[in-house]
Amino acid sequence: MSANANAMDRMLSKMSKMYPMMIVMGLMIVAISFIIGFVNSQLAADYFSIDKTTRDTLASSNLRDDRGSIESVGLWLPYFKFLGLGLLLGGIVMALRVIIDNLRDVGEEVLSNLDEAKRPKLPTPPWYALLMPMLMMVGEIIFIVALIIALGLASNARTLFGDNQIIDIDTNAGLTSDLSDIKTVSAWLVPLKFLAIATEFLAIAIGLATIIYILSAQTKTLDKAFKVAEGGN
């Protein structure tokens, strides 16, 4: 392993020890999302408790503001919640890295008891082990990008549904275009967040595969080492 690869490996090992913080952050975001969703549901309940005729005419600016808020939160909140889930999954990935490092440390400690001349070399992690943190970070970036785009859509939706001309949207080309843009972007933004989830799960799968590989390789190495030690005795 090159010096650069060793430096990166040490950096990843240090970063992985922050997994409790990522998990806590993820839980906090999910909890905040629940609270915001609950408040928004109460606002929606109040809004839709008003008779349809009054709602359709958007008789007051308060009604328009309420509708804009409901539509806006409905657009960005799912992506905020998925960011929290992404942090939880990222924390799991980092915890797997800690397990991998601990397995390697235990293997080195056991082998250190043998004579250096007879000590077999500890097997290195498989090449795909480096993909685990990379995929985790790619997934987190996708979550963040999706949330930023969703916040932009939410801002447009608040403006659109807060416009007193919204009742004439069918005859207003500008408002129709804005609504079309929101629907179009939302259509591809939804699968984007699931791509991020899939990326995080792939990182977890690679982490588990790496653990299985290390356990298998170290078992064979230690078995060989014990046989050498017994032969020496």
135, pLDDT greater than 60: yes
For residue 72, count other CB atoms closer than 10 A to its CB.
23
For 189-200, write each residue's pLDDT tens digit.
999 999 999 999
Determine what percent of the chain is predicted with pLDDT higher than 90: 41
Q: Tell me the HSE value of 204 on the side-chain side, using a 13 A CA sphere.
A: 14
How confident is the prediction for the chain on average, in pLDDT?
83
Q: Mean pLDDT across the stretch 141-169?
A: 81
Q: Are 86 and 22 a contacting pair, CB within 8 Å?
A: no
Q: Which residue has the tokens 């020496």?
A: 232
Residue type, 218: Q
Tokens 């790496």: give the residue.
Answer: 210
In degrees and rounded to multiples of 5, residue 104 shows phi and psi of -65, -40
Q: Running DSSP on this structure, what letter comes out for residue 91?
A: H
Structure tokens at 162: 């807060």
Judge whether residue 172 has pLDDT over 60.
Answer: no
Tell me: pLDDT of 70 over 90. Answer: no
pTM of the entire structure? 0.83
- At 4, the pLDDT band (50, 70, 90 cuts) reads low
